[in-house]
Each structure stands twice: as C-alpha cells, then as structure tokens.
Amino acid sequence: MSKIKKITFEVKKYEFHKPFHVTGSISNYATNIEVVLETEDGAKGYGEASPSFRVNGEKVEALYALESSINELLVGMEVRNYRQIFDLMDKYFASPSIKAAVQYATLDAFSEEINVPVYQILGGARTEIEIDKTVSIDTVENMVRDAVEIYNAGHRVIKIKVGEDLKKDIEAVEEIAKLTSGAKYIVDANMGYTPKEAIEFAKVLYSKGIDLGLLEQPVKATDFEGLKFVRYNCPFPVGADESAKTKYDIMRLIKMEAVDFINIKLMKSGISDALAIVEMVKSAHLQLMIGCMGESSVGINQSVNFALGTGAFVYHDLDSALLLKEDTFRGKYISEPPVFKGI
C-alpha cells in the first residue's frame, strides 16, 4: 500500500436543466469542488464537495482555501489507514462538505489499490437501490406536469417540494396524487412552515385520503420542540433534514423523540459522522433516508456507494446528478433510473 502524494481541488460549475426551487431559494447552477487524492503508487481517488450556505453556512471560496492545509495534514499518510484520516478530517467540522469529499476520496483511492468497490469496503449490504426524483416548487400546473413525467419515467417514489404557500401546496400534492396512483410521496417543506401550518397541511391531506410516506423538515432547523410537536400531531411520519447535521444533532433528536426519520446527507456530516448516525438511528429503532445537495455524478457516487455499503436506508433521494447538465457521467455505479446499481 502507498501513501498520499497530493490532494488537489478543482472548482466546477454545473447548470440545472431547469431552475431548482425550494423554500426561500432558487438555484440555476451548482458550484462544486472536485477533490482528487493521488497516492505514491499512482492510484487516484475522487470526491466532491457541494457546499450549501443555506444549510451549512459554507462558501466555495472558503472551502477552496483549505487545499494547502489539508495537504499539510494528510500527505504521507497511508490510505489503508483511512480511519486515521477520518479522525483528522473530523477537525474540519465547520466545513462538512469538504470533509466528506476528502474522506470519500481516501476510500476511493484505497478501493483502486485493492480492486474492491467502495460499497463493499463499507459492507456490501446491497447491490442496488431505488431512487426518487424531485418536483421543485412551481405553479400547480407545472408541478403536476413534472410529477406525471417522473411517474411515467418509472419512478414510484416522488419527492415534492413545498413550504411557501400552504393553500397552493395542498392543491399541488392533491392533484399530483390523483394522477400518479401507486406512488409514494416524500413531501419536503425545507423549514417553510410553522408547526401549526405543518399540522394543518398534513391533516387536510389525510382527510382527503392522501398518504405521505414522509413529511420532511416542516419547521425551522433550530425548532426541535416544534419538530416534536408536529410529529406528535401528524398522521404521517416526520423527518429531520436541516435539523440533523452532526451525530450530536441526531443524539438530541433521538432523546427528544422528535422525529421518525433522519435524512443523512454526506455534505452535512462527512462519511465519519454518517457511519455513526446510521448505527445511532438503527439502535433507536428509527428510520433513515439519504439525500443530496447539488452533487454531480462524482458526488452522487459517494452517496450511492455509502447507501449500497450500509444498506441502511428506506428512501434514497439521490437525484441531483439527473437534474444537472453534465457532459460525461463519471460515477462508479450503473445509473438506470429509478435504479442505481453497484459495479
């Protein structure tokens, strides 16, 4: 086995096929940092950071400036001792997306050296997963049209973004449900509701006979009490996303009995915390989904291999690479939406 020779960062920009609209934010492109880790034996591992100021308070410029300090910290270390590298990268807790990218690049380089896929290094629990696809906030007509297209393309798990207009949100979900019978729905408010609005939203849909698989992050990230209030007054499972970043957040959510689901995103936690969160949530007999920010196929590769390796997730919200204009698919997985397979 060989030591790390150098780590390089490259800023890359990807345009969305159509503007991606969530509560309080509209994105036309994703600006990511691709991380390449090279070993002395010539192996290369790839990772990607997709920073979110809205969620993590990260900026590309600040993350890019970490290249020299991370090289100083890690050059000369053995990739096979990846847990040592994970521990050092945990010190970058304020920069979780770059932490994730470097940690994954380490696993990827180790994978190349021993010729074993990363998902098998992480356990090889599954060989394929089913992903959802997202309907972003738009007019009711456009949201319904997008949902029907997603359904006709074979997806049976549809994620619907809401949170800016309660009345319109209810109408959109109702109309989507009429035309996509048999699908499962993840409805994500991205912190857009008050606790009372979230409960009203859920109860109105329930009264209309619409079943949601998950109501995700209905209230502000810091409103743990509000999240618990929604959970105990909602007919559907309630999940945390923006409230669930580190393993310490998850410990608090578990102790408070505030949620039914935790949404792990490697961009929020890194590989190391994500591994801990999986075991914590399983021990608490709660459920997991895995999500993404604005990763290209290089970044989604990280989450696909993590999900395949651990086999821990009920829902796989890993569609960002499908929403971006990318010249070449570069993931180390087989992309046959709605199924992703290990290779």
Where in the sequence numbering do the catalytic residues fall? 161, 265
Q: Is 100 exposed, middle or buried (0-12, 13-18, 19+ CB in 10 A)?
A: buried
Q: Please, are residues 176 and 145 in contact by the beta-carbon 8 Å criterion?
A: no
| 188 marked as binding residue | yes
| 223 marked as binding residue | no
Residue 135 sits at φ, ψ, to 5 deg, of -100, 115
Residues written for the chain = 343
User: What strands, in cross-sheet order, belong to the sheet with 339-342?
Assistant: 128-130, 339-342, 333-336
- Which residue is listed with tokens 């470097």? 102
Among 234, 235, 231, residue whose Cα is nearest residue 262: 231
Residues 6+ apart with CB under 8 A from 29: 13, 14, 15, 16
| 216 marked as binding residue | yes
Which value, to the nearest 10 degrees, does the dihedral of the CA atoms of residues 220, 223, 227, 229 take?
A: -130
Give the strand pairing for 133-135 and 128-130. unpaired
| Peptide bond preceding 338 in cis form (omega within 30 of 0) | yes
Burial readout 305-326 (b: 16 or more C-beta within 10 A, e: otherwise): bbbbbbebbebbbbbbbbbbeb
Q: Please, are residues 105 and 70 in contact by the beta-carbon 8 Å criterion?
A: no
Mind giving me the DSSP string for 214-264? EEE--S-TT-HHHHHHHHHT-SS-EEESTT--SHHHHHHHHHHT--SEEEE
The secondary element (H helix, E strand) that includes residue 340 is strand 339-342
Q: Please, are residues 165 and 197 in contact by the beta-carbon 8 Å criterion?
A: no
Give the residue ranges of the annotated binding site. 188, 216, 241
Give the residue ranges of the annotated binding site for Mg(2+). 188, 216, 241
